[in-house]
Amino acid sequence: MKRRDFLKTAGIGAAAAAAGTAALAAPAIAQDVIKWRMVTAWPKNLPGPGVAAQMLADRITALSGGRLQVELFGAGEIVPGPGVFDAVSEGTAEIYHAVPAYWGSKSKGILLFGSQPLGLTAMEQIGWMQQGGGQALYDEMYGRFGLKPFLCGNSGPQWFGWFRNEIKSLDDLKGLKYRTTGLNSEVCAKLGMAVEAMSGPAMFQALQSGALDAGEFIGPWSDSALGLQQVAKNYYAPGVGEPSSAEECAINIKAWEALPEDLKLAVTYAAQSLYNPVLTEYNTKHAMALRELKDKHGVTVHKLPDEIVVAMGNAMGEVIGELRDNSDELVKRITESFLAYRSLMVEYMPYADAGQMNARGLTYNYG
């Protein structure tokens, strides 16, 4: 899909959104068919999260045998992308698709469920949720807002992003206007960057105009679909600010509780069963898109200097300290649970995934 199509989708007027809200205000239940509206933080079919959102809507409908039909509305069609959390919490729609990194204004504890600078990989993240007690804490936190949450995908390792000019040291970051989200925003601010939050399409426009010096969105597949390679040519990895970024859906708790048990299971399995397909699609298509960015668009891929990685790790240590001292007892419990699972993985992974990657990186005749 062309970049201008995403910009057009993302910019649907407020009047149309208001009309859509009025027309769709009442849930439709007829002939034992329940109809849900899914609002998303993305333009429809944006490669990566927009595609994943449609997959989820389709899978819930299919697994329910058509008894629970989910219709997807892109950012701006009913509410703007940043408004989907409140829209579902308040009952304007029944379900949303977004990322936890967008909801730090609700609670700092929410941010740990999405991505954590120098934190968990995609498989470790779902491991924490399913094996380390994370899901119970996730339910408790979102329950405060009248929501039932599920992780339903992951982008895998994100990139540090697109820079108009090359960066060689920590000093080069100071004062840079940089788009990012979640806990990475707090880390980058501690490094002296001027952090701004905005949508992917808005990031393109800001880089083009010079309002931004740099920014990260997701990775090669999604980023190239937005045309970011047209406005910046220096692309930096690894994105240690987001070693993975979980995608989530959250359901209005009244809509959830009104479902019979078999439809609750259909929704649960739809979300859980998409985690790996979404992750593997991202990894595969990121790899394909990166080849094209380098070979056809003149993008230069850079390794983030170790000095910056270490500084980010130290800054995240300060953020962790602030989370541990948070006045909210639940935020403290979420933080300690995350740290305990991260510690377990840090101990094990040098022998497992990291060990395999290091072995694969040696030079030998493989074919």
Q: What is the pLDDT of residue 21?
A: 40
Q: Across residues 242-254, what is the average pLDDT?
A: 97
DSSP state at residue 45: T
Q: Across residues 254-282, what is the average pLDDT?
A: 98
Residue with more model confidence, 289 or 7: 289
Work out the percent of the chain whose per-residue pLDDT is above 70. Answer: 92
Where on the phi/psi map is residue 165: left (φ > 0), alpha (ψ -120 to 50), or beta?
Answer: beta
Q: For the segment 107-117, what is each residue's pLDDT rounded down to a tens digit?
A: 999 999 999 99
Q: What is the pLDDT of residue 2?
A: 41
The strands making up 300-303's β-sheet, listed across from edge to edge, are 194-196, 177-179, 214-215, 161-163, 234-237, 300-303
CA distance 200 to 162: 12
Handedness of CA 318, 199, 129, 351 (dihedral sign): negative
Whether the pLDDT of residue 105 is over 50: the answer is yes
Q: Across residues 49-75, what is the average pLDDT?
A: 98
Q: For the segment 118-135, what is each residue's pLDDT rounded down to a tens digit?
A: 999 999 999 999 999 999
Whether the pLDDT of residue 30 is over 80: the answer is no
> Residues within the annotated binding site for substrate?
158, 179, 216, 242
Quick one: which of 203, 230, 178 has its CA closest to 81?
Answer: 203
Where on the phi/psi map is residue 258: left (φ > 0), alpha (ψ -120 to 50), or beta?
Answer: alpha
**Helical H segments across 226-363, by residue range:** 253-257, 261-296, 306-324, 329-348, 353-360
Contacts of 126 (CB under 8 A, 6+ apart): 151, 154, 246, 275
Q: What is the pLDDT of residue 243?
A: 97
What structural domains does the chain harbor? 3-157+244-285 (3.40.190.170), 161-242+298-360 (3.40.190.10)
Determine how many CB atoms are found less than 10 A away from the CB of residue 63.
19
Q: For the segment 192-204, what is each residue's pLDDT rounded down to a tens digit?
A: 999 999 999 999 9
Whether the pLDDT of residue 26 is over 60: the answer is no
Whether the pLDDT of residue 103 is over 50: the answer is yes
> Residues within the annotated binding site for Na(+)?
217
Q: Across residues 238-258, what is the average pLDDT?
A: 97
Q: Across residues 78-86, what is the average pLDDT?
A: 97
Q: What is the pLDDT of residue 18?
A: 39
Q: Across residues 178-199, what is the average pLDDT?
A: 97
Q: For the segment 296-322, what is each residue's pLDDT rounded down to a tens digit?
A: 999 999 999 999 999 999 999 999 999
User: pLDDT band at residue 31, thresholds of 50, 70 and 90?
Assistant: low
Q: Please give the helix or strand (H or E) that residue 33 lies within, else none.
A: strand 33-40
Q: Across residues 35-53, what is the average pLDDT?
A: 96
**Buried-state track 296-334, b at ≥16 Cβ within 10 A, e below 16:** eeebeeeebbeebbebbeebbeebbeebeeeeeeebebb
CB 323 within 8 A of CB 333: no
> Residues within the annotated binding site?
158, 179, 216-217, 242
Record the tokens describing residue 311, joined without a space.
Answer: 């500084």
Q: What is the pLDDT of residue 8?
A: 41
